[in-house]
Amino acid sequence: MVKERIRFDLFGHSHFVRLLTLRWTSQGMDGLYQSALASFVLFSPERQATAGAAAGAFALMLLPYSLVGPFIGTILDRFPRRQIVLAANAIRALDLLVVAYLLVKGSTGAIFVVTVLIAFGINRLILAGLSAGLPRLVEREILVAANALAVTGGTVASVVGGALGYFVRRIFEGFFISDSADGFLVLMASFGYLIAALLALRLRRDSLGPNSHELAVAHDRRVVVDGLIDLGSGIRYLRSKTDSSLAMIAVSIQRGGLTALTVAALLMERNFFHDPKFPDRGLAGLATVITGAGIGVVVGAVITPPIVQRLGRHRWLRINMAFGALPALLIAWSSALTLPLLALWVSACGQAVKVTCDALVQHHVEDAFRGRVFAVYDVVVNVFIVIGAWLAAQIIAPTGRGALVPVAVALVFVGYSTLLTGRRFKPDLPTTSSTLR
């Protein structure tokens, strides 16, 4: 009965439904775009996949937001977030037209790197803006379920977009060379981002915040300088929110570990389970692993809200940090058949941690600080992802096979879960923003 009421409450919020449509469309195009880039960089017959190349691909995706993240928090807290999301999707649609042209030409030079960096940097701005605005659209009582639906649906949309890209590419490979097929996929994604920009117009200008009295400050202050100042204020704010800070670190560790395991899985599918001379077979295997991970994301999100009602956010987060260590460890001895199942398991635990943490942060952080806090959150997560990819590139074998990375990830997961006990991780006391500005 409670589940039915929550489901009705969620879909009874028209602006929340519009946000879902916008977010899922945008993230579906993310999956389509990323599948084209992965095919071009890592699964092209002309290019050899290595741990360094895989780590470089992750760095390419995350470097832009790591650099501009401090300023994004300021922008999200001082300008209409709906307008930011609208403009960002439109700019990204134009940027991908250039990327599509470069893929068709087979270019991997500086212009290609810059245009890809722009696209990924804008993507993080959009997701941070939508996350910061979500608590304004639903009541706190259903925030966990709303966040689970938004985040998980977006992840599923990304997986579906990636699968669509894989199948469309297989069709077009019969008529064009592989680089031209990848360019066509990026062109499709560009059109999808334009649709996402138009969908943003269905939201009211002020529906995602911030409040009108905060917008007045934006025109009289320097964004770059304020970005650094506001990043510091976001960090100081989080010092009084111990459980939120520890939960954000948990997500960061999870994402860093999963990135290292993803590098291993990618290389195993490309160079171990399949003959490297036939990269399409490796790409098909990787698609199966990603599908398994996508199912795990759904499972983790679906089971989290009802279990959180029984166990609480803090205990559920601890359980999933520890429980995710076992599938991470077993990846060292996985086969082509068991790897997708292990991906499902570890992704379910990771998504449970992510959904729980997001709701916890959204619940405790005041709207005036939410953009800055989520900017800090995303920067920290991105740094851990890059570290995970870099460390994997240093120690992993060219085939991706080996126990060192899975064992290390499992130990870190278990180790951090033991820190989330007792006084170190419990609900915060209320804190007023006036004492923290």
pLDDT digits 0-9 by tens, 149-186: 898 899 889 989 999 998 888 888 777 777 788 899 99
Q: Which two tokens stand for residue 345?
A: 């398991």
For residue 284, pLDDT over 50 is answered with: yes
Helix (H, G, I), strand (E, B) or coil at 111: helix
What is the set of domains in the chain, with CATH numbers?
11-427 (1.20.1250.20)
Answer whether residue 106 shows pLDDT above 60.
yes
Q: Which pair of structure tokens corresponds to residue 38?
A: 């992965």
CA 213, CA 200: separation in Å to the nearest integer?
Answer: 23
Q: Which residues of 259-295 are buried (b: 16+ CB within 10 A; e: fewer)?
A: bbbbbbbbbbbbbbbbeeeebbbbbebbbebbbbbbb
Q: Is 33 in contact with 157 (CB distance < 8 Å)?
A: no
pLDDT band of 220, cuts 50, 70, 90: very low
pLDDT for 427: 61
d(CA 231, CA 208): 21
Give the model's pLDDT for residue 5. Answer: 47
- Of 30-34, 47-51, 297-301, the range with the lowest mean pLDDT is 47-51
Compute the average pLDDT of residues 365-372.
76
**Which range, 97-106, 186-195, 356-365, 424-433, is most confident?**
186-195
Lowest mean pLDDT among 200-214, 358-372, 422-436: 422-436
Q: What is the pLDDT of residue 249?
A: 94
Task: Flag the least confident range among 56-65, 79-88, 164-173.
Answer: 56-65
Q: Calculate what percentage of the chain has a pLDDT beyond 90.
A: 39
Two tokens at 256? 């860093």
Q: What is the mean pLDDT of the chain?
A: 83
DSSP secondary structure string for all residues of 340-363: HHHHHHHHHHHHHHHHHHHHHHHH
What is the full DSSP assignment across 270-326? IIISS-TT-HHHHHHHHHHHHHHHHHHHHHHHHHHHHHHHHH-HHHHHHHHHHHTHH
Digit-coded pLDDT (tens) for 285-337: 988 998 899 899 889 988 998 999 899 888 999 999 999 999 999 999 999 99
Split at pLDDT 50, 70, 90, the class of 30 is very high
Cα separation of 138 and 42, whole Å? Answer: 41
pLDDT at residue number 94: 97
pLDDT of 1: 42
Nearest of 321, 345, 154, 148 to residue 251 by alpha carbon: 321
The whole-model pTM stands at 0.74
pLDDT at residue 158 in the model: 92
Residue-wise pLDDT for 114-154, tens only, equals: 888 788 878 878 888 898 888 888 887 788 788 888 988 99
- The answer on pLDDT for 210 being more than 80 is yes
